[in-house]
Each structure stands twice: as structure tokens, then as C-alpha cells.
Amino acid sequence: MVAHKLPEEMFQAFLERVASGEPVTHVCRDPKMPSWGSISNKIASDPAFEAAYRLALEFRGMVLADELDDIKREARTGMIDPQSGRLAADILKWQAARMTPKVYGDRAHMTVETKGGSFIEELKRVEDAVKAKAEQVLLENRDTEPDTLRARDVVVNQDQVNIDIPKAT
């Protein structure tokens, strides 16, 4: 099937099923639903559908996160094995975090305080301080002699060296 020949209602039904928690692959296996090829073509060619698809995935992530309550309840009542419950919960948490990173994802938080001025100016100050420190280290580790090669002060007499070498007997 080609994406543009399918009725728009099919795509809306697809989005509703995904948003309700059903995996995309399961929805696409349904003969009444568009195939994954049709869905991917629609996502690539229609920015509004792409946004709706991403929103449906976020809603699916929220549904999956709600399933954690069911697992907790079943583990407390002994209806499921604790190890199985832990595995299922870990998978659901991972999926929910990927589908709804703003809500359930890992948060990386960084605060930058500047001493007046902009963030760019502060970065420039840090860069200048690092360069100054690197120059200082180079100067401290540098030999006092210039970086030139010198010939030896002693002239070596090759004949004398050969005489001084012990001979094998």
C-alpha cells in the first residue's frame, strides 16, 4: 500500500492504538491497519503526522509507566515472582524513559554561574586561564639550554678507539 492512497482515518486509528499502549509492530500486523512501510513513508513525508506519531509514542510511554503500578501490586500480593516483576519493571521503566524522556527520562542538570557578563565571556576566561597554565608548565619543564644540537667538544680518534677495544681470543 502507498501511504497517500490510504484514508486519513486509518492513520488516525493507528495513532490512537499506539497512544493507548499498543506496540507499533502489533498495530502494523493488523490487516485493517497500514503497514510499517506506509507509516514510515507518511512520517517521512508529512511533518504534521510525524509530530502526531511522536506524541502518540509519548502517550504510549505514559501508559507503560502506569503498568508499573500493576506490577507493584502483583508483586506485593505474591501474584508474580519478584525477579520476574523486577525484570518487567526495569523493561517498562526503560521503555517509558525512551518514549517520554521529558517526563521519565534521566535528567542531566548543569548550572553555570558567571561573574558578570555572558556565558561566552566566561568560557573565554576559562580558555585563557587554561592556556596560561599550559604555558607556565611548558616554561617550568623547559631546559635552560637552547633547543639546538651541539657537536661534541671532544674529537674522537677512531684508531685509538679500535686499539682500546679488547680483542676476542
**25-60 pLDDT, tens per residue?**
999 999 999 999 999 999 999 999 999 999 998 898
Distance CA 11, CA 27 (A): 11
End-to-end C-alpha distance for the chain, whole angstroms: 95
Query: What CATH number did the domain enclosing 100 receive?
Result: 1.10.10.60
> 7-35: buried (b, 16+ CB within 10 Å) or exposed (e) per residue?
eeebbebbbebbbeebebeebbeeeebbe
Which amino acid appears at position 84 of this protein?
S
Cβ-Cβ contacts under 8 Å for 56 (sequence gap 6 or more): 15, 16, 18, 19
Residue 155 lies in a domain: no
Residue 89 lies in a domain: yes
Half-sphere exposure of 13 (CA within 13 A, CB side): 13
DSSP state of 80: S
Cβ-Cβ contacts under 8 Å for 27 (sequence gap 6 or more): 14, 17, 18, 33
Residue 123 lies in a domain: no
Per-residue pLDDT of the chain (169 residues; tens, 9 = 90+): 444 578 899 999 999 999 999 999 999 999 999 999 999 999 999 999 999 999 998 898 888 888 888 888 888 888 988 888 888 888 888 887 787 776 666 666 667 666 667 778 878 888 899 888 888 888 777 655 555 555 555 555 566 556 656 666 6
Give the count of domains, the chain.
Answer: 1
**Residue numbers of the domain that contains 19:** 3-104
Residue 143 lies in a domain: no
Residue 55 lies in a domain: yes
Residue 87 lies in a domain: yes
Residue 64 lies in a domain: yes
Distance CA 42, CA 35 (A): 11
